[in-house]
Amino acid sequence: LDKPNQILRTDDLRKAFGGLVATDGASIAVEEGTITGMIGPNGAGKSTLFNLISGFYDPDDGRVWVNDTDVTDKKPHETARAGLVRTFQTPRRLEDMTVREAMLVGARPQTGESILPLWLSPSTVTREERANIERAEELLERFEIAHLIDEPSAELSGGQLKLVELARAITTSPDILLLDEPVAGVNPTLANDIKRFVRELNDEGQTFLIIEHDMPFIMDLADPVIVLDQGKVLMEGTPEEVRSDRRVIDAYLGG
C-alpha cells in the first residue's frame, strides 16, 4: 500500500451488470484508526463496492488491497483472513439459528461454516476459535443483549439482529470492519446505542468503513466521509466539507 497507515485501498474498480455499470472506476483508501463514512444516493453503487471489496463479487477491472495483501480475486473468507470483515444491509443466514449458534458461525471467519458441531468435541476447536467465542459472549454483554443468547434469532427485532451481526463481525477482531447501513430500520434509541458502541470500539482502535443513509448518524460519527455517485467517488472530505459541497447537494437532488 501507498502509506503504511492505509488499511484498505481500491484502485479503479469496475463492475457492470449487463449494460449497467454499477462501479465505474472507484478508488478509495481507508486509514487505520478512522471511522470512514460512505454516502451517496440510492443506486450510487455503495453496496456493490462493499461486495467487490469483501470478495462477494469479482471486479471486471481494478484492484483491492487489504493491509499488504492483494485480495482482488480472493473469496470472502480469504479477505477476512487478510483482516477485512463486513456486515450486510440485511443480516443473513440467521433464520433458524439461535443467537448463540449465529455467534458460533461468526467465530470462524466468514467460511459460512458453523463451528457448532466442533463445539461439541472441544479438542477440534482451535485456541483462536475459543478466544473468538469468549469475545462474542463479551460483546453480547456489552451490547446488552446477552439475555437473548438462547432465543431463536427469528424472534429478535431488526435492531437486535443488527447488534448480533455487529457482535458476530467483531468477534474475529478484523483490522477493518465494513458496516452496510447499520441503523437502517432501527429505532432511534437503539440507533444511538449503536453509535455509542461504534465510537467506543473505535476509541479502542477498531477501524470502520460505514455506509449509512441516516445523515445525522454518519455526519456525527465519521471523518472523513466519501461520497459515491454513479459508481464513482464524487468527493471526500470532513463532514463539514461534504455538507456544504454543491456537487453533493446536486447528486442527491438529481439522484
What letters, b where the CB count within 10 A reaches 16 and e where it falls short, cover 111-127? eeebbeebbeeeeebee
Which residues, in sequence order, are CB contacts of 144 under 8 Å at separation 6+?
193
Q: How far apart are CA 2 and CA 120, in angstroms?
A: 45
Select the residue interacting with Mg ion from 47, 72, 160, 172 (CB under 5 A). Answer: 47
Q: How far apart are CA 56 and CA 47, in angstroms?
A: 11
Is residue 22 within the footprint of ligand ADP (CB under 6 A)?
Answer: yes
- The nearer residue to Mg ion, 42 or 121, going by C-beta atoms, is 42
Q: How far apart are CA 84 and CA 32, in angstroms?
A: 12
Cβ contact 228:45 at 8 Å: yes
Distance, C-alpha 236 to centroid of its chain: 19
Stretch that binds Mg ion, among 41-49, 102-110, 145-153, 183-191 (CB under 5 A): 41-49
Is residue 44 within the footprint of ligand ADP (CB under 6 A)?
Answer: yes
Is residue 234 within the footprint of ligand ADP (CB under 6 A)?
Answer: no
Select the residue interacting with ligand ADP from 48, 79, 153, 207 (CB under 6 A). Answer: 48
Please report how close the Cβ of residue 41 comes to Mg ion at its closest, in angstroms: 11
The tally of CA atoms less than 13 A away on the side-chain side of residue 24 is 14
Cβ contact 207:32 at 8 Å: yes
Largest CA distance in the chain: 60
Please report how close the Cβ of residue 225 comes to ligand ADP at its closest, in angstroms: 14
Select the residue interacting with ligand ADP from 36, 47, 110, 171 (CB under 6 A). Answer: 47
Please report how close the Cβ of residue 86 comes to ligand ADP at its closest, in angstroms: 13
Is residue 40 within the footprint of ligand ADP (CB under 6 A)?
Answer: yes
- The nearer residue to ligand ADP, 22 or 201, going by C-beta atoms, is 22
- Compute how many other C-beta atoms are within 10 angstroms of the C-beta atom of residue 165: 22
- The nearer residue to Mg ion, 38 or 104, going by C-beta atoms, is 38
Please report how close the Cβ of residue 89 comes to Mg ion at its closest, in angstroms: 5
- The nearer residue to ligand ADP, 22 or 136, going by C-beta atoms, is 22
Select the residue interacting with ligand ADP from 10, 28, 29, 46 (CB under 6 A). Answer: 46
Select from ligand ADP, Mg ion, none the partner in contact with residue 20, using the beta carbon and a kind-dependent cut-off of 5 to 8 Å: ligand ADP
Please report how close the Cβ of residue 38 comes to ligand ADP at its closest, in angstroms: 9
- Compute how many other C-beta atoms are within 10 angstroms of the C-beta atom of residue 233: 18
Select from Mg ion, ligand ADP, none the partner in contact with residue 249, using the beta carbon and a kind-dependent cut-off of 5 to 8 Å: none
- Compute how many other C-beta atoms are within 10 angstroms of the C-beta atom of residue 4: 9
Q: How far apart are CA 94 and CA 161, in angstroms?
A: 9
Cβ contact 210:219 at 8 Å: no
Binding site for ligand ADP (CB under 6 A): 17, 20, 22, 40, 42-48
- Which residues of the chain form contacts with Mg ion (CB under 5 A)? 46-47
